[in-house]
């Protein structure tokens, strides 16, 4: 099995902060899975580990039913404990090599890169894909550096042999632009979560990432 064939070209990042009811998170995850989203990443910034684990187990079960790939943001340990398919680490998380050690050789391991040097180092340390961004302006995450744009994205794509997932301010039109720049896929929060009709937005992004990828390869 080639790992990247299961990575998915559209990653929906489900956000949950501690202290809130997790039911709406599970509800939108179910709806985006029904809409055909191939990969879900769970991002729990303010949760206790127990809540993070419990939600990850529930999301893992839904993804398994749907045949989708499930990635845990930030935490390789929670990924293993919940039966996820992988983890995604950033600069404040465990180093890539340590996360790879915890996950084992077969799991997806994404690492955030803002530039070519970070991307190359991440792959050398064991990342199986690179999350590149922010590609475009976004208000979903604070404290981000300036957007790298399609050109920054393309330079990262050229520098590594693993799939590159573009993140930050991606909507359907920008998904197509990111794929044309060589990205394997895109990761989104607000394009789905903040849409008036999340399932419809998810379907549109699914169509755009599949069509856009075919176009980029042609
Ligand atoms: N990392 C870089 S940009 C970003 C994260 C988590 C937020 C992406 O959210 P959106 O709403 O798709 O811009
Ligand atoms: Mg993270």
Q: Does residue 49 register a pLDDT over 80?
A: yes
pLDDT band of 4, cuts 50, 70, 90: low
Rounded CA separation 79/96 (Å):
14
Give me the pLDDT at residue 210, please: 81
pLDDT, position 3: 66
Q: In the 8-state DSSP scheme, what is residue 83?
A: T
Our mutation pick for probing the ligand 1 site, out of 14, 16, 133, counting the most ligand atoms within 8 A of Cβ, is 133
Find out whether the beta carbon of 195 lies less than 6 Å from any atom of ligand 1.
Answer: no
Distance CA 127, CA 88 (A): 9
Instruction: List pLDDT tens digits, range 51-108.
Output: 999 999 999 999 999 999 999 999 999 999 999 999 999 999 999 999 999 999 999 9
Q: What percent of the chain has pLDDT over 90?
A: 90
> 72 C-alpha vs ligand 2 centroid, how far in Å?
9
Supply the pLDDT for residue 215.
Answer: 65
Residue located nearest, by CA, to atom 6 of ligand 1: 141
Per-residue pLDDT at 7 exceeds 70:
yes
- Centre of ligand 1 to C-alpha 132, Å, is 10
* Mean pLDDT of the 175-180 span: 97
d(CA 194, CA 165) in angstroms, rounded, equals 21
To test ligand 1's pocket by mutation, which of 131, 134, 164, 174 has the most ligand atoms within 8 angstroms of CB?
134
Asked if residues 87 and 71 have their Cβ atoms less than 8 Å apart, the reply is yes
Ligand with minimal distance to 12 CA: 1
């Amino acid at each position: 099995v080639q790992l990247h064939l299961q990575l998915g070209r559209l990653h929906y990042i489900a956000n949950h902060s501690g202290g809130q009811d997790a039911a709406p998170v599970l509800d939108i995850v179910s709806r985006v899975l029904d809409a055909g989203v191939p990969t879900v990443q769970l991002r729990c910034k303010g949760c206790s580990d127990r809540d993070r684990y419990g939600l990850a187990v529930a999301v893992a079960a839904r993804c398994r039913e749907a045949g989708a790939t499930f990635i845990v943001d930030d935490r390789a340990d929670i990924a293993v404990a919940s039966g996820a398919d992988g983890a995604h680490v950033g600069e404040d998380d465990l180093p890539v090599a340590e996360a790879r050690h915890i996950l084992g050789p077969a799991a997806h391991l994404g690492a955030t890169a803002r530039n070519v040097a970070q991307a190359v180092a991440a792959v050398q340390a064991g990342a199986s894909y690179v999350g590149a961004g922010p590609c475009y302006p976004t208000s979903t995450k604070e404290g981000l550096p300036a957007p790298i744009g399609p050109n920054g994205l393309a330079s990262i794509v050229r520098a590594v042999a693993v799939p590159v997932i573009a993140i930050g301010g991606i909507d359907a039109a920008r998904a197509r632009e990111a794929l044309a720049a060589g990205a394997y896929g895109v990761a989104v929060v607000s394009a789905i979560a903040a849409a008036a009709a999340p399932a419809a937005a998810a379907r549109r992004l699914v169509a755009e990432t599949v069509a856009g990828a075919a176009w980029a390869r042609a």
